[in-house]
Amino acid sequence: MIGNLTAETMELLRKLQSNPTLEKAYDTFGVQTGSGIVNYNLEAYAKTLYPVITPLRNKTPRFTDPNGGNAVHWKVITGINPGRTFPGTNEGIRGALIDQVSDDRLASFVRFSLENSITEEAIMQAQGFDNALAITADNLLRSMFIAEEEWMLVGNATGLPQPSAPAGTPVAGGSMTQQATYCKVVALTYDGYKRATLANGLTTTFTKSSAASESMTVNGGCSKVSAASSACTLSGGNSSATWTVTAVPGAFAYAWFVGASAAAGSCTLAGITTVNTFTQTANAAGTQVDNGAGYGSGGALSTTTDYTKNASVFDGLISQAINTLILSPSGSTTATGYYKSLDGVALTSDSNGNVPEIDNALQYFYDTWKVTPTKIWCSTQEARNITKKVLAGGTAPLYHFNVDNKGGMTGIVGGSFVPVYNNKFAPYGPKAIPIEVHPNMPYGKLFFECDEIPYPLANIPGCYRMDCLRDYWQRLWPQLTETRFTSVNFYGVLQVYVPFAMGLIDNIANG
């Protein structure tokens, strides 16, 4: 029996070997990569690939104020002998009295606070790879740096006035309905501009909630709606319109509502621009109307309700430089710096490699205050345009040659950039002013900053500083669930001593 079984088995094996269709491929034997028995080659430490560009915050002095209170106050003498009292005096008599100009300044303290969280499971599962709890705190701290940088430059806590009624001009071309057309404008803070979209509309208010179910209502950065323009009648070959409004100092953008009637609710959002002009070529594509509710659950836009003032943040350098009422309760104009709106016109060039608009500002600083800015901050658009204007008026080549150490040419490098502007009106002689791009600067603006004390014996610690009742601190909140919460805070204000040495060229067109 066993012998027969062996013979039958051998015969079956011979048949299998002679039939290739039944033969199993040799390369499927053993363990393959598809079996999943492979090492997981994970590089240690999570990569943090996000920008933290905070040049103003990094260089700003920080002062821990020991005096408490809800605001910091200081006295300023802004002029001596402004009436030019005659100094010549006859023998035996006393000189005439001079006058002095002084003012009170104040800046209210505010608290900035952000939170982050992590679960216990996330902490345990990250063991052997990275410190997840430390990453949580580090990301939170960097988020605070980014927020502080933004508000230091473009913060507007004081609010914006109601824009005036815009004006419209018919323009050739386009596809707008030919009829009498009206426009209304809303001025936006930087925060309002970043929250606004044509599709979703403007954010009038929003609710900020904490992990402890606390909440606060925050204004979204929209001004009162302007009065309607006069009718702009489109006819013939004119199916477009250019709308213009008087510049609102401190506004970072404008929202344009257009319709066939001046009545409330008849104009629809048609455009959002960073300059105070808007050329409209098609009918309004937005959905929000001029008295409609804000994006989300915000209050309604109106000609009587302002959504720009926000007492829970501080005013930035730009706002403090150009807004008279921020630092001086009396409204004294001695608090303000330079402001010029180009109203949708591009920078220009002269025949000597200069930009007249920048020269005019620098001349104002010298003629009025005998000071010079120390840096010009701009967007990428204005950085390109300054380079174009300087090169258009001079003889600088648009390329340069690379040579090796033996004097041989190794190639031609294209691309020019003007990183410095020469101030011909600086005290004690010309001064080179760096031009730098700031990540929070919208198109259409040039900001002149001053970070060097302009006068000897000025009795100030610097041009500006962060005055803190309490500087950065972290709090790990009591743990009530399997999630840990941590916060980073600071309580202080941006204190600007020399706003008059700063200024803004506003509403610059691209070109």
pLDDT value for 15? 63
HSE-CB for 45 with a 13 A CA cutoff: 4
Please state, in angstroms and rounded to a whole number, the distance separating the CA atoms of residues 283 and 257.
Answer: 11
Please state, in angstroms and rounded to a whole number, the distance separating the CA atoms of residues 332 and 352.
Answer: 38
Tell me which residue has tokens 């900001």: 447
Judge whether 499 and 334 are in contact, CB under 8 Å. Answer: no
pLDDT value for 83? 87
User: Across the chain, how many H-helices and E-strands are there?
Assistant: 9, 23
Tell me which residue has tokens 């929000």: 288
pLDDT value for 397? 54
What is the residue type of 145? F
Q: DSSP alpha helices (H): ranges in 51-157?
A: 55-59, 120-125, 132-154
Please state, in angstroms and rounded to a whole number, the distance separating the CA atoms of residues 42 and 39.
Answer: 9
In the chain, where the domains are located: 55-75+107-157+312-508, 167-280
- Domain 55-75+107-157+312-508 sits in CATH 3.90.1690: yes
pLDDT value for 1? 46
- Compute mean pLDDT per 10 residues along the chain, 511 residues long, and list them: 58 60 55 76 85 95 94 84 88 89 86 95 92 93 96 94 97 97 98 96 93 91 98 96 97 98 96 98 96 88 95 93 64 71 96 93 94 97 94 62 62 80 93 96 97 92 95 93 94 94 97 93
Ramachandran angles phi, psi of 18, nearest 5°: -85, -10
pLDDT value for 28? 54
List 259's β-bridge partners, or say none: 182
Judge residue 471's burial from the number of C-beta atoms within 10 Å of its C-beta, 0-12 exposed, 13-18 middle, 19 or more buried: middle
Judge whether 386 and 355 are in contact, CB under 8 Å. Answer: yes
Please state, in angstroms and rounded to a whole number, the distance separating the CA atoms of residues 36 and 26.
Answer: 20
Tell me which residue has tokens 């380079």: 387
The H or E element spanning position 4 is helix 2-18
Please state, in angstroms and rounded to a whole number, the distance separating the CA atoms of residues 140 and 135.
Answer: 8
Here the tokens at position 445 are 């603006």
CB environment 148-183: b (16+ within 10 A), e (fewer)? bbbbbbbbbbbbbebbebbebebbeebebeeeebbb
Question: Which residues contact residue 495 at a Cβ distance below 8 angstroms, ignoring those fewer than 6 apart?
Answer: 72, 107, 464, 465, 466, 467
List the one residue out of 241, 273, 255, 265 whose CA is nearest residue 176: 241
pLDDT value for 266? 96
Angle at 116 between CA 111 and CA 118, to 5 degrees: 155
Please state, in angstroms and rounded to a whole number, the distance separating the CA atoms of residues 338 and 367.
Answer: 12
Give the dihedral of Cα atoms 367, 360, 426, 63; nearest 10 deg: 90
Question: pTM surpassing 0.85?
Answer: yes
pLDDT value for 438? 97
Sign of CA dihedral 368, 369, 370, 374: negative
Please state, in angstroms and rounded to a whole number, the distance separating the CA atoms of residues 178 and 159.
Answer: 37
List the one residue out of 362, 382, 386, 379 whose CA is nearest residue 501: 362
